[in-house]
Amino acid sequence: MTTLIRGAQLLGAERTDVLIDDGIIAEVGSVARADTVIDADGLIALPGLVDLHTHLREPGGEQSETIATGSSAAAKGGFTAVFAMANTAPVADTVAVVEQVADRGRAAGLVHVQPIGAVTVGLAGRELAEIGMMAASRARVRVFSDDGKCVFDPLLMRRALEYVKPFGGVIAQHAQEPRLTEGAVMNDSALSGTLGLGGWPAVAEESIIARDALLAEQTGSRVHICHVSTAGSVDVLRWAKARGIAITAEVTPHHLMLTEELISGYDSVYKVNPPLRRDEDVQALREAVADGTIDIVATDHAPHAPEQKLTSFGDAAFGMVGLESALPVVLRSLVEPGHIEVADIARILSSAPAAIGGILGYDKPLTVGAPANITLVDTSASRTFSADDLAGRSTNSPFIGVELPGTVEHVLFEGRATVREGLVIHD
């Protein structure tokens, strides 16, 4: 069974044909025929996108998302691999849960679902979870995170960093000083003061990043900072990288585009953790992606059922869906203003997150012999983003009604079409 992508624009190359045979790229160049042909005229071929930060909600939160529906949202957004965060119920802190998540991802068959293991039992921050057993399990866990909660205890953080070092694991930190953010629901600012909403100060993020950079330096281990949201955090990261510390960082699409003013009407679709910040922060985050201080874009896709959002701002759940809008927002916020080239998307949304998370097959994309994980994008297309663009179970997207560029036309996951003409293919 062979598939031919005809006339796609490869990054940094001519328009060409790509032949896929048995899930592997067999030929790049002029190809005559194949069993299936995809007309890629006018489309750019990106490597399959990789999201290092996805909440699939299963087990325990199936009213918001399942592994299958989240996989569908991921495919629709051009992803071929997602890292499933550990804050499920039960928490992914045992071999049983991470293997189940991986198995269900495989059964859904739309993307590689790579489980993330919890750092501490029940995300409670008291004792380390079965990190070694999860790493050695069939799920082959390499990323550990208590995301949703900060690994606040400095000793536990140090031990976790030491423990993952021998097998090349990484601790993905949700940097939020808990005491400084009690009751916090939005950026700490003049706006939070007038709205009467609890403020989440930048220092609560920046102080944890500084501490963990130093712990990573001391242990010689790798730390990854989730959803960086402030200009000050960028400064701390720049300092840590200049020092040679093994620290990586991600920014979400929403923090690259949206600011706190959106909260003025108390619409909980804009309630997210860390919160939307100021325009200065947005600009600093964009520049940090451009200069490599921030390594990757990751969605923090956080689906919530309507009951969790249609309530007061204080009661509403934190989080927004992001898989389907990630690429368009990256085009709008990073490519259009000239911070990065389209070709850089292959790095920040594919090879770099795969390398940080330790999954294979993304280091030499779109070359003969590489797995055929390919996303064909029309970057010239523009549309008003709508609920029809969402393919998961929840619709809590802040981008509905926003004009965004770029559509995902076709996606191949391990050589198999998962999206055709913008629609997810369900077997």
Annotated binding site for Zn(2+): 53, 55, 147, 174, 227, 300
User: Rule CB under 8 A: is residue 312 a binding residue for another protein?
Assistant: yes
Cα Rg of the chain, angstroms: 20
Residue 90 binds another protein (CB under 8 A): no
Q: Which is nearer to another protein, 195 or 354 (CB)?
A: 195
Closer to another protein by Cβ: residue 201 or 253: 201
Nearer residue to another protein within complex by CB, 30 or 194: 194
Rank residues 161 and 316 by Cβ distance to another protein and give the closer one.
316
CA angle 333, 290, 85 (to 5 degrees): 70
Pick one of 191, 262, 290, 402: the residue that binds another protein (CB under 8 A): 191
Catalytic residue among 93, 300, 344, 389: 300
C-alpha–C-alpha distance, residues 199 and 296, integer Å: 27
Q: Is the dihedral of CA 202, 203, 204, 209 positive or negative?
A: positive
Peptide bond preceding 90 in cis form (omega within 30 of 0) = yes
Which region holds residue 227: left if phi is over 0, alpha if psi is between -120 and 50, else beta?
Answer: left
**Closer residue to another protein in complex, CB, 168/306:** 306
Counting contacts by CB under 8 A, is residue 270 touching another protein? Answer: no
SS3 309: helix
387 binds another protein (CB under 8 A): no
From 56-64, 127-135, 149-157, 307-315, span contacting another protein (CB under 8 A) = 307-315
Minimum distance from residue 257 beta carbon to another protein (Å): 23
- All residues at 6 or more sequence positions from 273 whose CB lies less than 8 Å from its CB, including other chains: 148, 176, 200, 318, 319
Q: Is 178 in the site for another protein (CB under 8 A)?
A: no
Q: 10 Å Cβ neighbour count for 33?
A: 8
CB of 154 to another protein, least distance (A): 21
Nearest residue to 109 (alpha-carbon basis) of 423, 421, 419, 422: 419
CB atoms within 10 A of CB 291: 10
Q: Which of 314, 337, 367, 423 binds another protein (CB under 8 A)?
A: 314
Binding positions for substrate are 55-57, 87, 273, 304, 318-319
249: closest CA among 294, 297, 301? 294
Per CB under 8 A, residues contacting another protein are 182, 188-197, 199, 265-267, 306-308, 310-315
Query: Catalytic residues, which ones?
Result: 300
